[in-house]
Chains A and B, each alone.
Chain A
């Protein structure tokens, strides 16, 4: 769609970025349908637009106006400031395809949070709305109701910001602000909650924008934005206190002292990237709420490897970074078919956000590019590959654990050709290859 895309986005080696959709109005979060059909006109994903719209995107990548005018007030485009709030969290209920979305609303001059369930006959246009949760005090300054997820236990989990004005409410068990809530899908309180009379699941949060469930330990992970210090990521466990307003580090697995506006997060847990990235956590760092050009704050996506019990990280890399001249920045993020998708809230048009220039991008692995490469980059082929014993396979390639070049493409290490083992490799005979030196020449193509 944009031939100059690599001039505005840097992505990790062996990945590529493409713009799938543009012209969105402040796209905040995206949610994929858990089990999409093959029918081109059925929904594939949904996007919340901050000022009260939802777009449905069908399998044929057509964009539909699912819902409009969901806010009952006139938003003011003030970034940073009172323009940062609105319609944010979204998740798709797997059985019905209904949407749960979170937003703020005005009630006689007060600003409040609510969570609603939206129904649609064909998934492309909203037919009805049911209120699940409402009347929770809020503010037009980001610390509002945020991410919604459905857990492996089928319950609804909701991140609630503490509302900024009185952070102490995050410690008040009788107040829902500054909490992660756990509810039945109709909003009632499950009997097995930490307190069976309360929807509070965990407390002590500030502005927990993102949430995602990790398959490998069946746990919920959230992002939470600090004040002028400490953005963090935490594994949320029942009844635990996460410290705010005293601390942004309590029970957190990771924090950055210099805050970068951590927004959405997701795990690579359905084979969207090569197996070496399995279970890595990808996190959007939004940065300042409206900053033109590259910035030391945010405007990037990072990836991290967690330890087994999710109590700390083992590695950290920048995975994508905005290097263009405009106000673009990643906000929502989710793995979907064949890659990592993210929303770019402001996009490439200058002059505040009235321009409707928000985008959806996809980052995919070059290694996994379907249809072009002959040998699949699988764990099995990786195990059979003879490269590690090859005299051409040098220290650099060894340190990076690179092999299976016939599938993964050439190395970026400098190499001296000292012979090639490909000719007698079981992978080569299985796929009928006849060449040598894939580490230098690139992957075997169809």
Chain B
């Protein structure tokens, strides 16, 4: 996949604003790998159970005009 399809750049400013660590879907496996900002880095291999998603109120999502959920399961946001 071409890097230019990726909407959200994986930069510290975005990673620090990402809400994933507080999300009920964010499981032990994802925590131990320090995974977050799935909208940029893509899906996890931790097999999360969908328990709700915080992306809808995330400032990163707002900044890049996204409106999807569950990037940790669906993969990163594409153009």
Asked if B65 is at the interface (CB within 8 A of a chain A CB), the reply is: no
Residues of chain A with a CB closer than 8 A to B24's CB: 386, 389-390, 421
A38 CB contacts on chain B under 8 angstroms? none
Do A424 and B50 have beta carbons less than 8 Å apart?
yes
Give the CA-CA distance A390 to B58 in the complex, in Å. 13
State the Cβ distance, A282 to closest chain B Cβ, in Å: 36
B55 nearest in chain A by CB position: A423
Taking the nearest CB of chain A, how far is it from the CB of B43, in angstroms? Answer: 16
Given A389-B24, A390-B24, verify A420-B57 contact (CB < 8 Å).
Answer: yes
Partner of A386, one of B52, B55, B70: B52
Contacts of B57 in A (CB 8 A): 417, 419-420, 423, 436-437
In the complex, what's the smallest C-beta–C-beta distance from B77 to chain A, in angstroms? 15
A436, B58: Cα distance in complex, Å: 11
Task: Please state if B53 and A391 are interface contacts (CB–CB under 8 Å).
Answer: no
Q: How far is the CB of A139 from chain B (nearest CB, A)?
A: 65
Q: Is the CB of B23 within 8 A of A419?
A: yes
Interface residues of A in 330-367 (CB under 8 A from B): none
Are A419 and B58 in contact, with the CB atoms below 8 A? yes
Q: Is A422 an interface residue (CB 8 A)?
A: yes
**Binary per-residue interface labels of chain B (15-50) against chain A in the complex, 1 for a CB within 8 Å, 0 otherwise:** 000010011100000000000000000000000001
Q: A421-B24, A423-B69 are in contact. Are A391 and B51 (CB under 8 A)?
A: no
Q: Which residues of A contact B50 (CB under 8 A)?
A: 424
How far, in angstroms, from A437 to B22 measured CA to CA in the complex?
Answer: 15
Count how many pairs of residues, one from A and one from B, have CB atoms less than 8 Å apart in the complex.
Answer: 46
Q: How far is the CA of A148 from the CA of B76 in the complex (A)?
A: 70
Q: Interface residue tally of chain A, by bracket?
A: 10 to 19
Nearest A residue to B26 via CB reads A391
Please, which residues of chain B bring their CB within 8 A of the CB of A421? 23-24, 52-54
Q: Which residues in A have their C-beta under 8 angstroms from that of B56?
A: 420, 422-424, 436
In angstroms, Cα B22 to Cα A386, docked, is 13
Residues of chain B contacted by A415 (CB below 8 angstroms):
none
Q: How far is the CB of A302 from chain B (nearest CB, A)?
A: 38
**In the complex, which of the residues A389, A391, A424 contacts B19, with contact meaning CB atoms closer than 8 Å?**
A391
Give B52 Cβ to nearest chain A Cβ, in Å: 4
Chain A 412-446 interface mask (CB, 8 Å, partner B; 1/0) = 00000111111111000000000011000000000
A406 to chain B, nearest CB (A): 14
**Chain B residues within 8 Å of A422, by CB:** 56
The answer to whether A389 and B52 touch (CB under 8 A), given A418-B22, A419-B23, is: yes
Given contacts A419-B57, A436-B57, A437-B57, contact A424 B23 (CB under 8 A): no
> With a CB–CB cut-off of 8 A, which chain A residues contact B69?
423-424
- CB-based closest 7 A-B pairs: A423-B56, A389-B24, A391-B22, A419-B54, A421-B52, A386-B52, A419-B19
Apart from A391-B54, A423-B53, 20 more pairs, CB < 8 Å: A386-B51, A389-B24, A389-B51, A389-B52, A390-B52, A390-B54, A391-B23, A417-B57, A419-B19, A419-B22, A419-B54, A419-B57, A420-B56, A421-B53, A421-B54, A422-B56, A424-B50, A424-B53, A424-B69, A436-B56
